[in-house]
Amino acid sequence: MIIRKVKIYGFGRHKDKEWSFEDGLNVIYGENETGKSTIFAFIRSMLYGLTGRGTENFRKKYIPWNYTKGTDRFGGELEFVHKDIEYRAISLWGDSKREDKVSLFNNTTGAEIRIPDGRTIGEHILQLTAGAYDSSIYIGQMGSVINASDDKDGILVSRLSAVSGLGESEASAVKVIGRIKECMDKIRSPRGNAGILDKLYFRKTQCENDMNRLELTDGNASESSLKLNELMAERENISEEIKGLKGKIRIIKAIKIINKKNKIIELFEALDELNEKAEYYKKKIKDLSSYSTDSETSAKKNISGIVAVVLAVLFVVAGFLLFGKLRTVAIILFAVALISVALAVVSFVGKSKSKQSAQEKRNHEKADVIQKLDETEALIAEKESVLDDKMEGYTFEQLEERWKKAKEIIDVAGSRVCTSLALESAEKHTATVEELSEKLNSYDSEIGYLKATIDNMYKNERMSFSEASAKYYDICAKIDYYERKYDGLKLAKEVAEESFEELRTTFGPVLSNETENILSKIVGTKGNVKIGDDFNISVFDEDMPRNISSYSGAAVDQTYFALRLAIAGVIAPKGQPYPLLLDDPFAQYDDDRLAKAMEFLNTYEGSQIILATCQKRGADMGKSFYKL
């Protein structure tokens, strides 16, 4: 891999900065706090994303200075070559990983390269994890010591073992162990209760508690449930009885309606007859009253005639007397007139008596008819009052509709049922219904109370006892499955670890030899260095092993620096070396050590080197030189 260009939009103190690098040694010079380490942090972030926690949280640590979201950009570009393919990575970071936008392109064709989910550019293209990167390519300030625990995925061990002749397929035991350990940790977490079994054990305990509580609740509820069932059964019986009685009442009322219908029709017929009789009496009274008036008129006419005759005779007599002649005739005429008048009077009196007798008879008859009319009208009023009571405020049309419905009820019930119910009392049945309804209301109140009591018992319960039992046995089955799986993984891990221990002893000689060669070029003399399987260094002085910590800090830095270079060279793909990113690793070097180190780097073949330093000595030896 060769880094061609670093372009920062915004990262820490750097904004809109760009650097180009070449093969061989490239030097970035600057005093402390000028952002040298920030450039290396940017390169790492482009390859592996913003990582770290707490004070080492890259997202917080390297957010651009005076950053305004939406206006400023947090990110940049990285151009590099690996296995003869030119790449261009573009990253724009947000407040969280979810907001990050990372893209990778073939810088020759412009085609976008898909990065598999869950992987970074460094893992996908370089085939190096962040831990392996930190233990090989990148050498920080006084950070040359390698921590074997950083190689969590066993990439370094795998690559070193492959160089030792085992091949990567045979050297992947550490990956297997790591994956087995991950699976085991998922099943049973070493810390906390995040593992599958940990959660299942907790759920099992919860289920046991639920079952115990539900069993107690079920026991308390069973008596109430039994009583509730009895009450509901009794209520159903009462409801059926009320329903039957209401049916009877309906039929009895229908029978009464039909019976009333007959009486009402009889009353209408009787009223028709009485009204006809009353009209007859009224006509007869009218006729009698008219005859009496005619008799009086005739009598008055007779009296008037007699008076006229008398007056005429008197006038004649008076004439004769007045003139003195024919006095005898006048007297005779007067006598005749008197006789005529007397006869007329006698005849009139006779007729008057006869008529008076007939009139008295007619008056008596009229009075009798009037009395009969009064009696008839009184009877009509009485019948109408009875009819009003029978009709109960309904119109005749409404009564006809009621009669129709009543007949339908009777027809459905049948003559036998109607005959048996005809003598029964609807009022008695109604009283019984009211009594039963009160009892039903009492049952409803008690049933409601029992239901509320039972509901309150289960108010906060998420499931029934049977559901809790089923869940419990399901959890137990899962626990059994994962316990057997965990035991199998544990056994597999133990076997793999034994194989890995044998594997780790194979790369030590190769790495020791390469470290000795590099160290001899830096210090000028060949030493006897041994590299352990955990990357610890032992130095043999006159065939006596000495711990590396007994040497000066500069000597320790030199030795681990050589080891880092050896690792970077050994693990790199054939013909495609990784670059070396050196972040001021010579802080403890004296002038002589620094001069030899710079001379070595300037002549080092096989890797691109980007050196950041705050020391002016030898800073201008690089093929490209940047002063910050």
* Mean pLDDT per 10-residue section of the chain, whose length is 628 residues: 95 94 89 91 94 82 91 94 94 92 94 91 88 82 55 53 44 68 85 82 85 72 75 83 74 71 81 87 83 59 62 63 58 68 64 69 83 86 82 75 74 65 65 79 81 69 74 90 90 77 65 80 72 68 65 75 79 78 83 82 81 76 68
The CATH code belonging to domain 1-127+573-628 is 3.40.50.300
| Terminal-to-terminal C-alpha distance of the chain | 25
Note whether 47 and 120 are within 8 A (CB): yes
Collapsed DSSP state (helix, strand, coil) of residue 219 = helix
Note whether 569 and 606 are within 8 A (CB): yes
Amino acid letter, 186 = K
Tokens 């936008």, located at residue: 101
Tokens 């029964």, located at residue: 424
Look at residue 165 in the predicted model and tell me its pLDDT. 43
pLDDT tens-digit profile of 32-87?
889 999 999 999 999 999 987 766 789 999 999 999 988 899 999 999 999 899 99
Q: Is the dihedral of CA 608, 614, 617, 623 positive or negative?
A: positive
What Cα–Cα distance (Å) separates residue 18 from each residue in 6, 10, 257, 496, 628? 6, 11, 109, 47, 12
pTM: 0.50
Look at residue 620 in the predicted model and tell me its pLDDT. 65
Collapsed DSSP state (helix, strand, coil) of residue 342 = helix
Note whether 29 and 627 are within 8 A (CB): yes
Look at residue 86 in the predicted model and tell me its pLDDT. 95
DSSP string of 59-125, one letter each residue: HHHTSPTT--BTTB--EEEEEEEETTEEEEEEEE--SSGGG-EEEEEETTT--B-PPPTT--HIIII
Look at residue 162 in the predicted model and tell me its pLDDT. 47
**Rounded Cα–Cα distance for residues 187 and 479 (Å):** 10
Burial of 587 (C-beta count, 10 Å sphere; 0-12/13-18/19+) = middle
Residues 6+ positions from 613 with CB-CB distance below 8 Å: 27, 28, 29, 36, 584, 586, 619
Where in the chain is CATH 1.10.287? 199-421
Q: Tokens for 303?
A: 């009296």
Where in the chain is CATH 3.40.50.300? 1-127+573-628
For domain 199-421, say whether CATH 1.10.287 is its number: yes
CA 157 to chain centre: 53
Burial of 156 (C-beta count, 10 Å sphere; 0-12/13-18/19+) = buried
Q: Tokens for 92?
A: 């724009």
Note whether 583 and 139 are within 8 A (CB): yes
Q: Tokens for 210?
A: 């639920």
Could you tell me which residues are beta bridge partners of residue 77?
Answer: 7, 90
**Rounded Cα–Cα distance for residues 561 and 136 (Å):** 10
Angle at 538 between CA 534 and CA 542, to 5 degrees: 160
Residues 6+ positions from 241 with CB-CB distance below 8 Å: 436
Backbone angles phi, psi at 155, to 5 degrees: -65, -45
In a 13 Å sphere around the CA of 608, the CA atoms on its Cβ side amount to 18
Look at residue 107 in the predicted model and tell me its pLDDT. 94
- Cα torsion at 153, 154, 155, 159 (round to 10°)? -160
Look at residue 373 in the predicted model and tell me its pLDDT. 83
